[in-house]
Amino acid sequence: MNPSEPTAVELPSQDPSTLSELEREVSRRRTFAIISHPDAGKTTLTEKLLLYAGAIELAGAVRGRKARRHATSDWMALEQERGISITAAALEFELEGRRMSLLDTPGHKDFSEDTYRALIAADSVVMVIDAANGVEDQTRKLFEVCRRHRLPILTFINKLDRPSRDPLELLDDLEKTLGIAAAPVNWPIGSAERFRGVFDLRDRTLFRYEREAQGQYRAPVDLSSLDDPNARELIGNDLYAHFRESLDVINEAGTAFDVGEYRAGRQTPVFFGSALTNFGLEPFLQALVDFAPPPQARPSDTGVVSPTDERVTGFVFKIQANMDPRHRDRVAFVRICSGCFTKDMTLSNSRLGKSFRASRVYRFFGRDRETIEVAYAGDIVGLVNPGHFTIGDTLHSGAALRFPDLPRFPAEHLGRVRLKDTRYKQFDAGVKQLEEEGLMQVFYTSTGRREPIVGVVGALQYEVIASRLKSEYGVTAEIEPSGYEAARWLRQATGPLPSPSGGSVMAVDRHERNVILFASEWELRYFERHHPDVELLEESPVTTSPVP
């Protein structure tokens, strides 16, 4: 085996009383991210998993009438207004002796940088598929990231309460489009008005579901056997015959569920259901508890780090400001990779080569937070420590190390922000903090600091920036096209600066590093041809100074 490759941590099979507390705590942790194309039902499924786990008593909705509760993971005002997820949310809860950490991610490609980072913080993945659409574009892209990181995937095929594609066709789509073996664990009978429930292929029981009003409460489960003479009658002759035929096909030619294959990322177990109307959620949640892997070893520049390594390590995968209007602070979300972390511990930030005391530590449930005294490998904790962290920072006790850099996407859109009132100080603070979150890159040209150019991955982020500047910083700003199409950092820090031609200009970022804003791809290529000695970078170089 390649020694630099992380290996799976096996669940200890020996008597739990002989394990150290660290081993025991690590082995009961499950950290997973929910991913898919927009609108497949990730947030709805998240909410229902929380309901079925007993972490909430009443499920909220993604798009609700005004008075109705909102889904816990869509906590941001703009998410609730728009009915879409914009930022990854962390939720931690206990279930059957397991400590579950769930990351509900946004599906829209404009927010995919945030989703990619959340994936890297997880040990496994739940992939949601809309039963009417099969594998969609964004799901395919995210799946590739999972494959690269060898993340085991459980699949939930959702929205069976609506007209759906045939389940055999959906399995085929998973296998052909994604190139992964798909092993059905249960099988739906009918869809839309004729949805009768799901049949568990392992213990051969039929779960019949009644549609519960709005799906706010757990639905009662009605079990029966397939051999029950009433089954055919309950299901209806046509559906029953088609269902038996499908069973024959999957018995003969289908992939059988195998935990080892799932853990190795070669097979995805498939479940069918409807998150909105509470069909098929128990077996899915049970599979997460039973099969999802515990925290895995992670590669670093000094070798593989085992989660049960005594030294505390972790990395910052997300920063979010102003989650709680009462606190107005900035939270750095850290995935703990090894050890037992305690409050007030001194840790080093390997980028800065400096240590800090972790005195304000929280665990999160959407927007809500709770102070914690201790956390173990696998946990996601929030540290409040303004200015000390940037996304991708490695934190550690003991000998220095660095986890691999997190992906950073080059900006695809560059807009000019225009401040429409006089609250300049708040404006500057807002721009700085939103940049720190990784929501955008910020560049200043000779027109000054009141009209920065912001670079984003997708244009929907402009709306998020303007809306958050208004609601969180009280400033009115508009973002309009800047006339620039690409931003490139210059590698060398000294010497005479080249002068770009045409409509391209020199600019600086917040750290006063030189950047060229190119007016077109053509001008960028032209510059490269005429300045072969100048190295241009798509990504900002890593700084070793604190955030100003």
Ligand X SMILES: Nc1nc2c(ncn2[C@@H]2O[C@H](COP(=O)(O)OP(=O)(O)OP(=O)(O)O)[C@@H](O)[C@H]2O)c(=O)[nH]1
User: Does 161 contact ligand X by CB under 6 A?
Assistant: yes
Shortest reach from residue 450's CB to ligand X, in Å: 33
Query: Which residues face 31 on adjacent strands?
Result: 101
The item of Mg ion, ligand X, none sharing an interface with residue 261, based on CB under 5 to 8 Å by kind, is none
Residue matched to tokens 């990784």: 438
- Give pairs for 217-221: CB < 8 Å, separation 24+: 217/51, 217/58, 217/59, 217/278, 218/51, 218/52, 218/278, 219/277, 219/278, 219/279, 221/282
**C-beta closer to ligand X: residue 192 or 223:** 192
The item of Mg ion, ligand X, none sharing an interface with residue 41, based on CB under 5 to 8 Å by kind, is ligand X
Shortest reach from residue 338's CB to ligand X, in Å: 31
**C-beta closer to ligand X: residue 282 or 329:** 282
> Which residue among 24, 141, 162, 218 contacts ligand X (CB under 6 A)?
162
Shortest reach from residue 289's CB to Mg ion, in Å: 23
> Which residue among 59, 95, 185, 276 contacts ligand X (CB under 6 A)?
276
> Which residue among 31, 72, 85, 164 contacts ligand X (CB under 6 A)?
85
123: Cβ contacts below 8 Å, ≥ 6 apart: 30, 31, 32, 151, 152, 292, 293, 294, 295, 296, 378
Asked if residue 446 lies in contact with residue 505, where contact means CB atoms within 8 angstroms, the answer is yes
Shortest reach from residue 48's CB to ligand X, in Å: 9
Shortest reach from residue 327's CB to Mg ion, in Å: 24
**C-beta closer to ligand X: residue 38 or 430:** 38
Shortest reach from residue 79's CB to ligand X, in Å: 8
- Give pairs for 47-52: CB < 8 Å, separation 24+: 47/71, 47/72, 47/73, 47/275, 48/215, 48/275, 48/278, 48/281, 49/102, 49/281, 49/284, 49/285, 49/288, 50/91, 50/93, 51/217, 51/218, 52/218, 52/281, 52/282, 52/285
The item of Mg ion, ligand X, none sharing an interface with residue 278, based on CB under 5 to 8 Å by kind, is none
Asked if residue 232 lies in contact with residue 244, where contact means CB atoms within 8 angstroms, the answer is no
**C-beta closer to Mg ion: residue 182 or 276:** 276
Q: Retrieve residue 54's tokens.
A: 């007993």
User: Binding residues for Mg ion, per CB under 5 A?
Assistant: 42-43, 85
**C-beta closer to ligand X: residue 79 or 261:** 79
User: Does 275 contact ligand X by CB under 6 A?
Assistant: yes
User: Does 246 contact ligand X by CB under 6 A?
Assistant: no
**C-beta closer to ligand X: residue 275 or 517:** 275
Residue nearest to ligand X (CB): 107
d(C-alpha 458, C-alpha 131), whole Å: 27
User: Does 274 contact ligand X by CB under 6 A?
Assistant: yes
Full DSSP string of 308-324 = T-SS-EEEEEEEEE-SS
Q: In the window 9-68, what residues touch ligand X (CB under 6 A)?
A: 36, 38-44, 62-63
Site string for ligand X, 96-135 (x = CB under 6 A): ----------xxx---------------------------
Between helix 42-52 and helix 281-291 the angle, nearest 10°, is: 80
SS (H, E, C) 415-445: EEEEECCCCHHHHHHHHHHHHHCCCCEEEEC
Q: Which chain residues interact with ligand X by CB under 6 A?
A: 36, 38-44, 62-63, 84-85, 106-108, 158-159, 161-162, 274-276
